[in-house]
Amino acid sequence: MKKIQWLYLLAAILLVAGCGSTNSSADLNLIPVAEGNDFGYINKKGEFVINPQFSNATLFKDGMALVSAQGSKTPWGFIDEKGKYVIPPSFKYATIFSEGLAFVVNENEAPKAIDEKGETKFTLQNAEAVRPFHDGLAGFSVFADDGDRKWGFVDKNGTVKISPQFYRVGNFSEGKCAATIEINKYVYIDKDGKIIINNQFDGAGEFHNGKAIVVTGKKCGVINDKGSYIINPQFSGMYPDGDNYIITMGDKVGWADKEGKIIINPQYDDAKPFYGNDLAPVSVNKEWGYIDKEGKIKINPQFYYVLPFNGSMALVRSGNKFGFIDKGGKYTINPQFDEISPDLMVYLASNHTEHSAEYTYIETEFYDIGAITAKVKEDITPDGVRGVSLNTPMARVMAKFGKQQSDFNQYVARTILISNEKIGHLASVNIAVIGTPYTNQQSSYTDTTKVFNDQATPQEFLYTLTPFRKVFDKRIEIMDAIEKDVFSTYSKDISSTPSLRIYTNASEKIMMQDAGTVINIYVLRSTYVLQ
């Protein structure tokens, strides 16, 4: 990853992806690696302790690891250090455990929090997305009435402690959390949701030891817990490294101390932190090696990719394979593995405090299809659409929907009456009248003139549902629900298929069609003959 992305955008990484302190160190005695497409776990000698068998695998934490089973619709579960399931793979998606709880979802279900026995503690029925607990609170989002996603927080009992009101939030750390009240403008809030640092930053990281990195304009600096600068914004990139900071100046990377004084001159193409070790990774001419605390090269740049040391070992990539080296640059485990768990890579790259966003964010699988069918039932009645029928004169249709003669085209037989009317965050509705109110009138022996006839009646109505996001894939389920809740009293044509259904009653013929991206419902006269 380029240094500008990795360093300058630290606030976005910590804040948007939701990575932050998990308050519990992972166990690195078992390391998740892949042979081919299957993940297993090796020990520090490179020997498989748990054979490759998972499509995804995380680090062990508190004796458990999150894994996904191959070829299952509900692949996610938790194993112990012997590879046996502690919580069976029964979830469609899951987060890692944090502070004793994890969030999981299944098909057509909302996110729920489970404990380490797999027992449900609470369900966030209305949550659109959720992240793990940090400092006693978990962030969750909902779609507000205006259609925007807003974030709030719940405690470990599932009680909403901060109502959803922020466009973006980070994770709580030391009682504070970065949040936006305006898009891309960050402040800090306390656990009651009260703004306690009201400076508006362009980016904001978590607090550690009373300090946080913030971005103002295109420059990074450091504030204290009162919001006052202790290092003025001056660096184009900044990342914490113990009491010091990796900094970017121009196109080069170096180190500054806690007061912002340069201690290793910016001279490297990229770098990763010391994190208390004697050596730190640096990139020179697109190859990675390691320097000491005086900036001297100790392991020559030769690797495609490296991570900071964890004790006496460091993960490196040589060619297309991953292995481990010691502090002399010699292999302790030869490069032989095809892939390393993203969880391990982020954990080692972030001083054992962060986990991959892949395992710290899940979205709901519950969508209230009933809200869609309720709207359709309200709109489409046995004798028309929203109070007008196929026998209603155009003058009344125009008055009902606020249309003028100028809204109708002489040559196009479709006029939009309702456009992109939202059903919450689930779908939108378009309504069109089919049939032109213009008729031909002979103006001379050879010419005709189009004349608007406001007493003409519609030929048909077209009601179009456009499902949003994940509901998009539930079109057939939506059609099933509409059939049950709206058209159950109609006669269903025997030629109907799952994607094209035809219903009739005394006054209407309904044709409901899955058109690939939308659901079209045609309201026709009962005598209409389908071609």
Task: Give the mean pLDDT per block of 10 residues along the chain (531 residues).
Answer: 33 32 60 94 93 94 91 93 96 94 94 97 95 96 83 98 95 95 90 94 93 94 96 94 94 96 97 93 96 97 93 92 96 94 82 64 91 96 93 95 92 92 91 89 70 92 92 93 96 95 93 96 88 65
What's the CA gap between 293 and 275, in Å, rounded? Answer: 11
Residues near 233 by beta carbon (within 8 Å), at least 6 away in sequence: 214, 215, 216, 217, 219, 220, 221
Per-residue confidence (pLDDT) for residue 1, from 0 to 100: 32
In a domain, 427, yes or no: yes
Contacts of 90-93 with CB under 8 Å at 24 or more apart are: 92/365, 93/362, 93/363, 93/365
Structure tokens belonging to residue 226? 């009162």
- Three-state SS for 344? helix
Please give the C-alpha separations between residue 324 and each of 317, 341, 523, in angstroms, as whole numbers.
8, 14, 67
Amino acid at 330: K
Amino acid at 461: F
In a domain, 195, yes or no: no
In a domain, 96, yes or no: no
In a domain, 488, yes or no: yes
Contact between residue 160 and residue 151 where contact means Cβ atoms under 8 Å apart: no
In a domain, 81, yes or no: no
DSSP assignment of 111-161 equals -EEE-TTS-EEEE-TT-SEEEEEETTEEEEEEE-TTS-EEEEEE-TTS-EE
Report the run of H or E that residue 469 belongs to, with start and end.
none
Q: How many domains does the chain have?
A: 1
Q: 134-161: b or e for each residue (b if 16 or more CB lie within 10 Å)?
A: bbebbbbbbbeeeeeebbbbbebebeee
Contact between residue 499 and residue 514 where contact means Cβ atoms under 8 Å apart: yes
Domain around 430: 369-525
Q: Could you tell me if residue 176 is left (phi over 0), alpha (psi between -120 and 50 degrees) or otherwise beta?
A: beta
Residues near 453 by beta carbon (within 8 Å), at least 6 away in sequence: 394, 437, 438, 439
Backbone angles phi, psi at 248, to 5 degrees: -115, 130
Per-residue confidence (pLDDT) for residue 2, from 0 to 100: 33
What's the CA gap between 11 and 169, in Å, rounded? Answer: 11
Q: How far is CA 381 from the centre of its chain?
A: 38
Contact between residue 147 and residue 157 where contact means Cβ atoms under 8 Å apart: no
In a domain, 180, yes or no: no
pLDDT digits (tens, 9 = 90+) for 134-191: 999 999 999 887 778 899 999 999 999 999 999 999 999 999 999 998 878 999 999 9
Residues near 446 by beta carbon (within 8 Å), at least 6 away in sequence: none
In a domain, 504, yes or no: yes
In a domain, 280, yes or no: no
Bridge partner list, 421: 429
Q: 44-65: b or e for each residue (b if 16 or more CB lie within 10 Å)?
A: bebeeebebebbbbbbbbeebb
Tokens 């269903």 sit on residue: 492
**195-201, strands of its sheet edge to edge:** 177-182, 185-189, 195-201
pTM for this predicted structure = 0.81
What's the CA gap between 449 and 159, in Å, rounded? Answer: 68
Residues near 430 by beta carbon (within 8 Å), at least 6 away in sequence: 416, 418, 419, 420, 421, 462, 463, 464, 466
Report the run of H or E that residue 234 belongs to, with start and end.
strand 229-235
Backbone angles phi, psi at 358, to 5 degrees: -60, -30
Amino acid at 128: E
Which of these, 294, 296, 289, lies nearest to 327 by C-alpha position?
Answer: 289
What's the CA gap between 405 and 437, in Å, rounded? Answer: 9
What's the CA gap between 480 and 490, in Å, rounded? Answer: 14
Q: What residue ranges in 8-95 does DSSP mark as E strands?
A: 31-35, 38-42, 48-57, 65-69, 76-79, 85-91, 93-94
Structure tokens belonging to residue 109? 């279900």
Per-residue confidence (pLDDT) for residue 357, from 0 to 100: 59
Q: What residue ranges in 391-469 does DSSP mark as E strands?
A: 414-423, 427-434, 438-442, 448-452, 460-467
